[in-house]
Amino acid sequence: MKNRLKVLRAERGWSQQDLAERLEVSRQSVNAIETGRYDPSLPLAFRIADLFGMTIEEIFQRGE
């Protein structure tokens, strides 16, 4: 899965640490998702979508 997390985060001027705190996950998890090492769980994907006010489909897309 690809995702637009890095851009969305950068648009808001947040560090990975900032985002991690808002999502209540570790900084390493944010980094791993951004760098494509693994996909978030479905519950976490929902929290991400909620935080950015978007749908899961707008943030995550199929591919690689």
Partner DNA sequence: ATCATAAGTCAAGCAACATTGACATTATGG
Partner DNA sequence: CCATAATGTCAATGTTGCTTGACTTATGAT
**What is the rounded distance in angstroms from the CA atom of residue 23 to the CA atom of residue 1?**
19
- Binding to a second copy (CB under 8 A) within 5-64 occurs at 39-43, 45-46, 49, 55-57, 60, 62
Three-class SS state of 40: coil
Please say which residue, 31 or 54, places its beta carbon nearer to DNA.
Answer: 31
In angstroms, the CA 30 to CA 17 distance is 8
Structure tokens of 31?
């980094």
Nearer to DNA, 42 or 53 (CB): 42
List residues binding DNA (CB under 7 A). 10, 15-17, 24-29, 31-35, 37-44
